[in-house]
Structure formats: C-alpha cells, structure tokens
C-alpha cells in the first residue's frame, strides 16, 4: 500500500489533484458524465459568484422606478421568468438562490468535515469506550431519516431567527448534524486500518506523540476519499436545504432567496395553473444537484477499478468464495452511499 | 490511483463494528444480539429528541405562551409537571414510552398514540403504494440496464436514475400536479380521497385506516376508484425517488453475478441471454438488493414527509408540519419517536432476512 502511494507521488502535482486526475483516467461515457457534471457545477458556481451583477433586481425587491411589481405575472419583458405571489421577480430570486445554496453548502460541509474528521481520528485511534459510544451514536443518527433530524435541529436553533447569517447558520448546523456521522464512519474505518500500518508503528517506536501521529501520519492518508464524499454531500446538502425551506424551516424570503421556500409558495400556484413560480427554482435545484452528483458519481466510478475500464473487467470478477462476496458488498456499499 | 482501491472494503468493515464481536456464533446468537442492538438505537434517538426539544423550553409555553395569562400558564405548567427538574421528567418520559404512553397533544388534546394510529395508516398506505411503483419501475429497468450494459439504453437509464435522485420530491410532485391534474385533468390535485369517500371510509366499522383496503373490504367500488385516482400522483412521485435507487442496485448486482462462472457455463450451453439475465443472474443478485431495499425505508419516510405536504396527504408527515407550525412539541416528539422505532425495526427485519437467506451473513 505505502509503496504504491510513494510511487504515485512522482507525477506532477497538478495531475494528482482530485478532479484533474479523474479526468485523465476517464474514457467515453464516463468522461461525458464527468464533463457534463463539471459544466453544470461551474455554471452554478459562476451564478453564485456573480448573482449581484447578473440579477436585474434584488432578491427581496418589490418595486422599481416604474412602480410596484405586479403579483403572479406571467413571464414578460420586464420580468423574464414572471413574478411570484408575493410580487418578487422569479429570475432574480433563482439567481440569488444559487448564492444562498453555495454559502450553506460550504458552511455545512466544512463544519461537518471538521467535526467528523476530528471525531473519527480520535475514535479510531484511541478505541475503547469513547469509540464504542461514538459509534453507537453515529449509527443511531445515520439510520434516522435525515430530513427529520434536520427539522428537529432547525427548530432548536432557529426560534424565529430571520437574519441572513442566522438563517444560514441554522440551516448549516441542521444539515451538518446529518453529515457528521458519515465523515466519522469513513475516517474512523480508515484510521483503524492505518493504525496497523508499519509506518505508524515505527513512528510510535521513535516516540512521536499521539497528536503528531494522528495529525501527520494518519490524517493525510485517511482523507483521500474526502473529495468524493464532499461532492456527494454537497448535492445532499442542497436537497436538505430545499426540503427544510419547502417545509417552512428555512430562511425568511426577505433575508435571502431560497429555492425550497419559493417552491413551497409555488405549490398553491400550481393548482391554478401558474407554472413559472415553481418550474424555474425547481429546475435550478435539479441542475445543481445533477451537476454535483455527476461529478461525484464519475469520481466514484473512476476510483473503483471494478467500475472503471469497463469492457475489459467483465468476467474478471473473482469466482465464488467469501472474497467475491466481500467485493460485491463493498461495491454495493459504495453504490448505496452515493444515494 | 491504485491506492484508492482498498477504500471501500475497509469502510465496509468499519460499518458494523459493534456486530463483529459476535463472530463465530450461531444464527440464534446473531439474531439475539442484533435484536438487542435495536434498544440502544431507539434509546439514543428518544433521548436526543427529548433533550433537543426541551432546550427550547417547556412545551406548554412554546405552544400557548402569549395566548394565556401568565398565571393560567404557570398553572398549566404545574399541572403537567413541567416545573420539575428535567432529569425527573426525562425518566418519567422514558417510563411512559416503554409502556406505550406518549402523552396528550397540547393543541388539540388528543392522546398521541391515537393520533399516531390515525395518521400512521395514511403514511403506511402512501409508503406501500410508493414501494409498489418503485419495484415495478426499478427492477425491470435495472435488468434492462444490466442486459444492455454500456450501450445507449444503459446510459439513458443511469441518467434517469441520477435524475430521480436529483429531483426533490416536492418539485417532482409539483410537475406532476401541473401536468396531470391542471393541464390534462386526469387526476385530482390533492388529498387522499374526495370528501364523500372520506366520510364513507370514516363510517366503517373497525377500519384498518388504509383506504383502498377498507374500500375493497366493504365492496365499495366507487370509493375504490376515487381512492385509486387520488393515490396515483403521490405514489408515482415518491416511488420514482426510490425507483432510481432500485434501478442502480439491480443493475450493479446483476452485472456482478453476470460475471460468475455458472453464468458463463450456462451461456456456453446455449442458454439465451434474456434467460441468463432474468433467471441465472437475477436471483442470486436479490440478496443484497433486499438488504439495501430495507435500508431505503429511511429515505422513503423522509420523502413521505415532503410528498404528504405537497399533495395534502393527511399522514404523519403532513400532520407533523402542522404540529410544528402550531409549536405542539409533544405531538412532534411522538411522531419522531414512532418513525425512529419503525426505522430501527425495519433494519432489524432486513438483517434477519439477509441472515436467513444467506448463511454467510454473520457479523
């Protein structure tokens, strides 16, 4: 294991970056998926960054020089995607929504990576009762419908907060409660495996402190899979945020534009045939999640030699025995983690 | 790149650490330990939910604060015992939950258990309908994808599966509503049944609460048709979410078994490709499929909350949102605990099924 890692180091740095190395190993359909995903993701990022410049109106703007915006107006020259029941411009709110989604993803995922990695390292390295308690808690949380957990968390934190950052932080914490166990499990499992590696043993013999071993020897090797989980969780974070917003536990419309909240209002519109208030923010969610998922999927496939280089690998699966079951189980596990 | 290969297996090992202790035991020991593991799971979730809900304050102030004069409020808090130390309340709550008593809702003063039974039936109905849709869509499409591996149909189907995941259920529901009820007028916009049917179902003796079952039992075919047309859109909406997962599962597993020697042997004896996929490769692939299908119950329940709100389907999810908005946390706590118990028990049943089907499954 370590030997191959070392030889892998010899490639130029840029080719070892997650997405670039994946791109170089991809072929055909897989490359197509990866590129589609990357394009969608880049469009999302650009929208988030330049929303203030592109959007014709503010997210909470109800009137301009020519007067108050009419409510529920179909798409026209002044409002190219129409207006909502509250008189907001749909196009502007969809653009601003990208910004909200981006900030929530970053805060939520960074928070959960930090906590999950720290707990996973401690739990895996030290073992004992701490490990057992953390594992049981993580399993309990993991098995529970994530949206319900996020709702419970958001009631606890949210209590009538409506400022932009208040809402963002409440949503992010609610989402990261769901994600921490996932990072925890991955990092803990890796740490347990790495703990037995000869280089950790030798570091111990040399007299390195636990903190140094964890921070230097284990952390770097245990976090290889993080870019993959990051991408997958980013898409889940968007869905959870939209779900919270849809149920009314998100961010107030006057503090930020949020796609899920807009869809909540759009459900009532749909019954009377008003399609533009729901279709645009909904499509924005789908395209963003699609982009991130495609990137994550492709990276997952390319990391796994059973799924990569397809045509040649058919029939090469080891036959029978517990080995192949373990392999199938692992592939399954990877597969089910994606969703 | 090669260093990344080992990640999934090592993770799979780490997923079930607590169960590894019993390795070497027989089936009975395994089942017993697996059963006992339900208890800490439920206990932790109940504890977590209880304390999280109490961080906000006592349920009566949350629900009625500002609406009652302070003296009356204090009186009610004292009557309900919410002025005692939190640890006493917690222990009392645990005792109540253990005996199946979840208290009384604050807003409409109903026993929580009765409320759970009423709305739980509606959620169960939705979940069953959705599961049927998911199986009908997911399994055949998964087989096709595996059969046409790496060809155009496979690419299209894989994309469809990702799209199913990427579309939030409430947006899918909104599109369905727009297309099939508002524009085409094929199905009703919302609800579980029309008012007349609701009344007819409510008047039945010993109803199961699952409408189509009740309608069939009472032989009321008009009501059955009405219920069926109301069920289609919510079931398809929620079903598609899970169908994507099933499609991918069936595909991956069937592709895995298609590479086995006995399939190769069958092929060399002239068994048709179609038969190989549907008989030889499909059946052994079922075991992991069943396992993961059971685990989808959490996804299904989470999706049900959103689907119910989209279609005003009066089940646990819809009701939970109502109670949340009314700040009735006793009711919310009851619903959350019930869902936790359902998930824990389903996971247990899935593990038992897997252990019974495959003798190699012992952790």
Return the closest-CA partner of residue A258 out of A112, A24, A59, A34: A59
Return the closest-CA partner of residue A148 out of B90, B44, B340: B340
Distance CA A53, CA A62 (A): 18
DSSP codes of every residue in B276-298: IIIIIIHHHHHHHHHHHHHHTHH
pLDDT of residue B83: 72
pLDDT of residue A255: 72
> Would you give the DSSP letter of residue A317?
S
Using a CB-CB distance cutoff of 8 angstroms, which residues of chain A are in contact with residue B295? 336
Using a CB-CB distance cutoff of 8 angstroms, which residues of chain A are in contact with residue B171? 263, 278, 282, 285-286
Using a CB-CB distance cutoff of 8 angstroms, which residues of chain B are in contact with residue A314? 149, 258-259
Measure CB to CB from residue A246 to each of B52, B170, B301 and give the nearest one. B170
User: CA dihedral in degrees (A281, A286, A291, A297; nearest 10)?
Assistant: 160
Distance CA B100, CA A102 (A): 44
Q: Which helix (H) or strand (E) holds B328?
A: none
Q: How many Cβ atoms are within 10 Å of B271's Cβ, its own excluded?
A: 14
Whether A255 has its CB under 8 Å from any CB of chain B: the answer is no
Region B325-351: mean pLDDT is 80
The secondary structure of chain B in percent helix, strand, coil, rounded to multiples of 5, reads: 80, 0, 20
Structure tokens at B44: 């932790």
339 residues of chain A, pLDDT tens digit each: 444 444 445 566 666 666 676 766 666 677 777 888 888 888 888 888 887 777 777 776 666 666 666 766 777 766 777 777 777 777 888 888 888 888 888 888 888 888 888 888 888 888 778 888 888 888 777 777 777 778 877 777 766 455 667 777 877 888 888 788 888 888 888 888 877 778 878 888 887 777 777 777 777 777 666 777 777 778 888 888 888 888 877 777 777 778 888 888 777 777 777 777 778 888 888 888 888 888 887 777 776 665 555 444 444 343 333 333 334 444 444 444 433
Three-class SS state of B262 = helix
Delimit the domains of chain A by residue range: 63-284
Return the closest-CA partner of residue B335 out of B141, B175, B115: B115
Which CATH number among 3.40.50.2300, 1.10.287.370, 1.10.3720.10, 3.40.640.10 corresponds to the domain A63-284? 1.10.3720.10
pLDDT of residue B15: 41
What is the nearest CA distance from B217 to chain A, expressed in angstroms?
Answer: 33
pLDDT of residue B235: 86
Whether residue B192 contacts residue B313, with contact meaning beta carbons closer than 8 Å, is answered with yes
Q: For residue B275, give every residue at least 6 positions away whose Cβ sits within 8 Å of its Cβ, in sequence order, or none.
A: none
Distance CA B361, CA B352 (A): 9
Instruction: Enumerate residues 122 to 181 of chain A having a beta carbon within 8 A of any beta carbon in chain B.
Output: 132, 135-137, 139-141, 143-148, 151-153, 155-156, 159
Which chain B residue lies closest to A281 (C-alpha atoms)?
A: B171
Please indicate whether residue B322 or residue A59 has the higher confidence score (pLDDT).
B322
Please indicate whether residue A15 or residue B318 has the higher confidence score (pLDDT).
B318
What is the nearest CA distance from B149 to chain A, expressed in angstroms?
Answer: 9
pLDDT of residue B7: 35
Return the closest-CA partner of residue B31 out of B355, B357, B265, B358: B355
Which chain A residue lies closest to B174 (C-alpha atoms)?
A: A267
Q: Is the dihedral of CA B43, B103, B112, A147 positive or negative?
A: negative
Whether residue B58 contacts residue B82, with contact meaning beta carbons closer than 8 Å, is answered with yes
Candidates A101, A134, A332: best to mutate against B (most CBs of B within 10 A) is: A332
Are A148 and B253 inside 8 Å of each other by CB? Answer: no
pLDDT of residue A203: 81
Return the closest-CA partner of residue A150 out of B231, B320, B200: B320
Structure tokens at B157: 């189907």
Structure tokens at A243: 């779900």
Q: What are phi and psi of A67, to 5 degrees?
A: 115, -175
Whether residue B253 contacts residue B285, with contact meaning beta carbons closer than 8 Å, is answered with yes
Which of A313-317, B247-251, B337-341 has the lowest average pLDDT? Answer: A313-317
For chain B, percent of residues with pLDDT exceeding 70: 82
pLDDT of residue B197: 67
Distance CA B295, CA B280 (A): 25
User: CA dihedral in degrees (A117, A122, A128, A131; nearest 10)?
Assistant: -20
Return the closest-CA partner of residue B292 out of B338, B351, B336: B351
pLDDT of residue A32: 78
Q: Which residues pair with A64 in a beta bridge?
A: A67
**pTM for the structure as a whole:** 0.77
pLDDT of residue A16: 62
Residue B301 burial by Cβ neighbours in a 10 Å radius (0-12, 13-18, 19+): buried
Which chain A residue lies closest to B265 (C-alpha atoms)?
A: A315
Which chain A residue lies closest to B15 (C-alpha atoms)?
A: A185
Candidates B162, B172, B187, B303: best to mutate against A (most CBs of A within 10 A) is: B162
Which of A147-156, B30-39, B215-224, B296-305 has the lowest average pLDDT? Answer: B215-224
pLDDT at residue B340 greater than cutoff 70: yes
Using a CB-CB distance cutoff of 8 angstroms, which residues of chain A are in contact with residue B15? 185, 189, 333
pLDDT of residue B358: 67
Distance CA A284, CA B309 (A): 21
Q: For residue A280, give every residue at least 6 positions away whose Cβ sits within 8 Å of its Cβ, in sequence order, or none.
A: A81, A90, A91, A94
Region B74-85: mean pLDDT is 73
Structure tokens at A312: 């040649």
Return the closest-CA partner of residue B8 out of A117, A338, A216, A124: A338
End-to-end CA, chain B? 31
Residue B66 burial by Cβ neighbours in a 10 Å radius (0-12, 13-18, 19+): exposed
Report the relative pairing of strands A63-64 and A67-68 from DSSP bridges: antiparallel
Region B134-141: mean pLDDT is 87
Whether residue A249 contacts residue A231, with contact meaning beta carbons closer than 8 Å, is answered with no
pLDDT digits over B92-130, tens only? 888 877 777 777 777 777 787 877 888 888 888 888 888
Measure CB to CB from residue A339 to each of B165, B174, B339 and give the nearest one. B165
């Amino acid at each position: 294991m370590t030997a191959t890692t070392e030889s892998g180091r010899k490639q130029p740095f840029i080719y070892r970056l997650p997405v670039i190395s994946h791109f170089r190993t991809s072929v055909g359909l897989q490359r197509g998926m990866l590129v589609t995903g990357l394009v969608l993701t880049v469009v999302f990022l650009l929208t988030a960054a330049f929303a203030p410049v592109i959007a014709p109106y503010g997210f909470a703007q109800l009137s301009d020089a020519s007067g108050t915006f009419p409510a529920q107006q179909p798409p026209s020259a002044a409002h190219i995607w129409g207006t909502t029941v509250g008189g907001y411009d749909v196009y502007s709110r969809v653009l601003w929504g990208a910004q909200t989604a981006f900030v929530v993803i970053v805060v939520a995922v960074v928070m959960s990576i930090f906590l999950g990695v720290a707990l996973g390292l401690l739990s895996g390295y030290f073992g004992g009762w701490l490990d057992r308690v953390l594992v049981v808690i993580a399993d309990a949380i993991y098995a529970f419908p994530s949206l319900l957990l996020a709702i419970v968390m958001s009631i606890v934190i949210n209590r009538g907060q409506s400022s932009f950052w208040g809402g963002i932080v409440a949503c992010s914490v609610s989402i990261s409660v769901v994600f921490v166990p996932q990072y925890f499990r991955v990092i803990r499992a890796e740490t347990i495996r790495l703990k037995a590696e000869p280089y950790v043993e030798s570091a111990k013999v040399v007299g390195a402190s636990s903190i140094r071993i964890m921070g230097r020897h284990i952390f770097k090797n245990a976090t290889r899979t993080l870019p993959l989980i990051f991408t997958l969780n980013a898409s889940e974070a968007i869905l959870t945020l939209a779900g919270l917003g849809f149920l009314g536990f998100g961010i107030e419309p006057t503090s930020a534009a949020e796609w899920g909240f807009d869809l909540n209002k759009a459900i009532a519109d749909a019954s009377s045939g008003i399609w533009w208030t729901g279709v645009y923010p909904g499509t924005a969610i789908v395209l963003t999640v699609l982009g991130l998922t495609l990137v994550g999927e492709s990276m997952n496939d390319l990391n796994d030699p059973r799924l990569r280089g397809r045509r040649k690998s058919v029939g090469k699966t080891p036959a029978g025995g517990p080995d192949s079951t373990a392999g199938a189980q692992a592939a399954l596990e990877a597969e089910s983690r994606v969703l | 790149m090669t260093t990344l290969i080992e990640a999934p297996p090592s993770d799979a090992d780490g997923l079930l650490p607590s169960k590894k202790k019993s390795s070497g035991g027989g089936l009975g020991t395994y089942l017993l330990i697996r059963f006992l593991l339900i208890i800490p799971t439920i206990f932790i979730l109940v504890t977590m939910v209880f304390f999280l809900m109490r961080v906000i304050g006592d349920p009566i102030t949350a629900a009625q604060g500002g609406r009652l004069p302070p003296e009356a409020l204090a009186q009610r808090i004292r009557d309900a015992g919410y002025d005692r130390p939190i640890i006493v309340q917690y222990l009392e709550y645990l005792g109540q939950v253990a005996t199946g008593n979840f208290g009384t809702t604050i807003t409409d003063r109903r026993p929580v258990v009765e409320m759970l039974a009423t709305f739980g039936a509606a959620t169960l109905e939705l979940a069953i309908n959705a599961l049927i849709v998911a199986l009908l869509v997911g399994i055949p499409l998964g087989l096709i994808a595996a059969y046409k591996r790496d060809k155009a149909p496979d690419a299209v189907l894989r994309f469809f599966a990702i799209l199913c995941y990427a579309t939030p259920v409430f947006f899918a529901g909104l599109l369905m509503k727009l297309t099939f009820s508002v524009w085409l007028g094929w199905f009703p916009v919302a609800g579980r049944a029309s008012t007349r049917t609701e009344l007819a179902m409510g008047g039945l003796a010993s109803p199961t609460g699952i409408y189509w079952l009740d309608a069939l039992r009472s032989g009321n075919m008009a009501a059955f048709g009405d219920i069926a047309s109301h069920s289609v859109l919510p079931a398809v909406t929620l079903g598609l979410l899970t169908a994507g997962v099933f499609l991918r599962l069936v595909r991956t597993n069937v592709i895995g078994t298609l590479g086995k020697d006995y399939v190769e042997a069958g092929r060399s004896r002239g068994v048709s490709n179609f038969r190989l996929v549907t008989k030889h490769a499909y059946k052994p692939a079922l075991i992991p499929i069943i396992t993961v299908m059971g685990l989808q119950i959490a996804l299904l329940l989470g999706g049900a909350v959103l689907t119910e709100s989209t279609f005003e389907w009066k089940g646990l999810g819809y009701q939970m949102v109502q109670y949340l908005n009314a700040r009735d946390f006793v009711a919310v706590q009851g619903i959350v605990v019930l869902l936790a118990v359902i998930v824990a028990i389903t996971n247990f049943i899935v593990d038992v099924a897997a252990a019974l089907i495959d003798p190699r499954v012992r952790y």
